[in-house]
Structure 1
Amino acid sequence: MLLLAWPLALTNLSQVALLVTDTIFLGHLGEIPLAAATLGGNLHFIAMALPFGLAFAATAMMAQEKGRVRGHMREMRRTFRQACWLGVLVYIPIAVTLWNSGPILRATGQDPSLADAAQTFTRAMMWGLLPFYGFMLLRGFLSALERPRAALWVSLAAVGLNAVLSYALVLGGFGAPSLGVLGAGIASATSNAFMFVGLAILVSLDRRFARFRLAGRFWRADWRRMAELTRIGLPIAGTMLLEIGIFSGTALVMGWFGPAAVAAHAVALQVASAAFMIPMGISQAATARVGLAAGATDPLGVRRAGWTAIGLAAGFMALTATLLFLLPDRLASLFLSEEFADTRRLAATLLMVAGLFQLADGVQVAAAGALRGLKDTRLPLLFAALGYWGLGLPIGLLLGFPLGMGPLGIWFGLAAGLAVVAVLMTLRWRKLAFLRA
């Protein structure tokens, strides 16, 4: 599990590093650019939920097809091809939505100047969305083959590229014009395109992967497979939309407290997201390992893979929780200077609350990954709806407004919702693993 998970986890971290880089550079321009990029980035991630769901469904299907061994090359190629088709189809309405993000944000009560700046950011970012989806599909294909390192090398190179582009386009380094949030969006979109092109080249040049001929007969439709991808992928997308949406929704709620609250939320969320990428990588490894065992009709392998993933994720997140409790001020200072002392103190406080839900967050994502390996995606959607929106958000709003806890109360609500989802996901996995005994 670790051999497969660590490249996936580092790949995830490198993708977070793209946004962290933008956040650091934009933080030097002040609260308004940072808050605008946060709001725009949240909308972008909400829009990514459907492509993410389809990509994870494709990974689970390709893993089971690889586990069955016989005819797996043909089956994996067909799944990859139909996932590409679906990605192009869903991108069109997503792009239209992101292009009009300004009116959407204003409708949620955001400051008009913040909404306009966020729209500038999303209009630049949206051009990297489809290439990033292609990168996720290729990474899922490599994960099913238990060969994920090529994706890691490309992602690390993209981090360096994004840092150079952000320095040039956000701050005006190397004699380039300073474009602020627009520059950050251009840098991120370019880096996403680089990841897809780079990984596609590596896959095509490596004999182990090129023999699958992923682009072969690309025009040929397989409607049954497309329907299965949709059936599995839509609940995953819904689950991710609910999870992404709750954090993005809280960013919108933070906007009601002012730009300082949004900026503090952005910093705390960036740190929590970076920590989350490790169990996310373990979750992706669990999907591949459970899928391979399920395809090979190996119930013991299924159980071992799932429980190992959950245990590893829980152990790592216990360590990150300790770090967040001990060093919140130090972490907040990485993003905000003394000039924004009040915002930095609020960010440090939110980081301590984030420490409360680290363990639950790791367990729920690992269990969800194991369930995806069994193509079990519908009940996890209901669990997410209940935990995040049925309990987490109402509790946060109650604590934040009527009880007067402000931004801190919103984050306590997040912690409560994640705890409920973690318990439900683990119980579901326990039941399915027991049934396969």
Structure 2
Amino acid sequence: MPYRDHMRALLGLGVPLIGGHVAQFAIGLTDTIMLGWYSVESLAAVVLGSTFFFVIFILGSGFAIAVMPLVAEAEAAGDETALRRVTRMGLWLSALFGLLGLPLFLYSGPILLALGQTPVVSALARDYLVIAGFGLFPALLVMVLKSYLAALERTRVVFWVTVAAVPANALVNYLLIFGNWGFPELGVAGAAIASIVVQAISLAGVVAYARLAMSHHTLFARLWRPDWEAFFHVFRLGVPIGLTNLAEVGLFAASSLMMGWLGTVQLAAHGIALQLASLAFMAHLGLSNAATVRAGNAMGRRDADHLARGARVALAASLVTALVAVSLFLLFPEFLLGLFIDPAEPERDVILAAGVSLLYVAALFQVMDGMQVMALGLLRGVQDTRGPMVIAAFSYWLIGVPSGYALGFSLGLGGVGVWLGLVIGLTLAAILLLWRFWGPDLRRLRTRFAT
């Protein structure tokens, strides 16, 4: 297949996935904007609370992500039975993880205090998490079914289901955060309720589509029956993926904790800048998911050359996307940051000043952040998950987090120093992950497919 066709296929899969990720991100963005207009303390609390939720969610999402390359390979090989088995057990594992993770949300207050957060912000974040934690179950189940549909190249429905949830979240936020139209004013608790409503709507949507449009897979028939071979196959692939995700997200979570040590204003600026950086990341993530599916298909077809050409196209698309984000962050930082803060907020200028510096640093890591997530997508597509887990743990926790602490606190660079630690960790991870795919993995696959 020529490079032009590879690009067309990648974008055909990737653009709806990008749209779905952006729509999902818009839900959190709506919370951030609305709570930023409610109060700075509420904004800081939900930055902390949503980070806490996301860390646990992303660990459990490893099982959902593992479903994607397995279904893509089974579809390419024409094995409908394997496709159904791994998806069902992905649902099982995700539900079990949701049950095990719930106590962390119910006892989040003491955990946040032990991590050095202020009593006021910790209490507000706890109020958010004891409600939002019950949304972990539907959120993980939705992700499994989205992975199943994406692997079957049904990416448009993934997009539309997510888009439909955005206005529902905004409406419930409007009613319950501020107490409009006669509803109670609940602040951060209202935002948590809105999140659960969104997750329930999304789950209903993907289940309905899978039952109606993919009825020939009989995905939910005898769902109660265990399939231990498929269960442990998904488990072995999913645990390293979850831990890899945790290592990366933990890097950003650690930066949020360190920013909390610097004060509420610094944490609020960090939260806004991180939202903008995360929005740019959604494009890379959608392309990475598409690369996983394309790599899984190449595995099913046993075609290493097809895999290599597709990988080059995916990395090129990510590079172009990164350069667009860099331009926006450098040219319009105050405008972008100002969208999140009430013009009447007394500390607006201080938050803007801190946020502009952080956006300049965010521009530094856009290219490498894109490269590392694209490399991860390709590695997952060829079902290599343990090596990337080790690389991520080393790059983010042994190098990135200590670098951020040293630059931010020991050398006195404050928030900018903490974010420079992100740059260092992401850069190292990108280099090592790309080397692993283009070196040992591709050589191994060429040898395997030739026999």
Residues 139-154 of structure 1: pairs in structure 2 closer than 5 A = 139-154=146-161
Deviation at 1:243, TM superposition (A): 0.7
Alignment partner of 1:341 is 2:346:
no
Cα distance in structure 2, aligned partners of 1:7 and 1:193: 21
Instruction: Give, as a single letter, the amino acid of the residue that structure 1 aligns with 2:70.
Output: M
Partner of residue 46 from structure 2, selected from 18, 34, 37: 37
* 8 Å Cα contact 1:289-1:302 kept in structure 2: yes
Moved more, 263-272 or 128-137: 128-137
Residues 70-85 of structure 1: pairs in structure 2 closer than 5 A = 72-85=79-92
Cα distance in structure 2, aligned partners of 1:295 and 1:123: 43
Alignment partner of 1:356 is 2:364:
yes
Alignment partner of 1:419 is 2:427:
yes
Instruction: Give, as a single letter, the amino acid of the residue that structure 2 aligns with 1:371.
Output: L
* 8 Å Cα contact 1:393-1:417 kept in structure 2: yes
Cα distance in structure 2, aligned partners of 1:213 and 1:256: 51
Deviation at 1:285, TM superposition (A): 0.7
- For 2:138, the equivalent position in structure 1 comes to 131
Return structure 1 stretches of 4+ with deviation > 3 angstroms.
434-437
Cα distance in structure 2, aligned partners of 1:45 and 1:163: 20
Q: Deviations over 1:341-379 (max 9, x none)?
A: 101211121111101000000010011001001110111
Alignment partner of 1:389 is 2:397:
yes
Partner of residue 406 from structure 2, selected from 382, 398, 411: 398
Alignment partner of 1:108 is 2:115:
yes
Alignment partner of 1:266 is 2:266:
no
Instruction: Give, as a single letter, the amino acid of the residue that structure 2 aligns with 1:238.
Output: L
- For 2:13, the equivalent position in structure 1 comes to 4
Give the gaps of 5 or more residues in structure 1: none
Cα distance in structure 2, aligned partners of 1:173 and 1:112: 28
Cα distance in structure 1, aligned partners of 2:113 and 2:294: 44
Alignment partner of 1:158 is 2:162:
no
Cα distance in structure 1, aligned partners of 2:218 and 2:311: 31
Alignment partner of 1:378 is 2:386:
yes
Q: Deviations over 1:255-312 (max 9, x none)?
A: 1111111101100110111110111011111111100110121212221222221221
Residues 2-401 of structure 1: pairs in structure 2 closer than 5 A = 2-69=11-78, 72-206=79-213, 209-338=214-343, 339=345, 340-401=348-409
Deviation at 1:49, TM superposition (A): 2.1
Q: Deviations over 1:191-213 (max 9, x none)?
A: 0111111121122222xx11111
TM-score by length of 1: 0.97
TM-score by length of 2: 0.94
Cα distance in structure 1, aligned partners of 2:181 and 2:301: 55
Deviation at 1:246, TM superposition (A): 1.0
Cα distance in structure 1, aligned partners of 2:305 and 2:180: 56
Q: What SS does structure 2 have at the residue aligned with 1:393?
A: helix
Deviation at 1:175, TM superposition (A): 2.7
Q: What SS does structure 1 have at the residue aligned with 2:177?
A: helix
Deviation at 1:337, TM superposition (A): 3.2
The percentage of counterpart residues that share the same residue type is 38
* 8 Å Cα contact 1:331-1:348 kept in structure 2: no
* 8 Å Cα contact 1:286-1:373 kept in structure 2: yes
Give the gaps of 5 or more residues in structure 2: 1-9, 447-451
Instruction: Give, as a single letter, the amino acid of the residue that structure 1 aligns with 2:31.
Output: D
Q: What SS does structure 2 have at the residue aligned with 1:214?
A: coil
The count of corresponding residues between Structure 1 and Structure 2 is 433
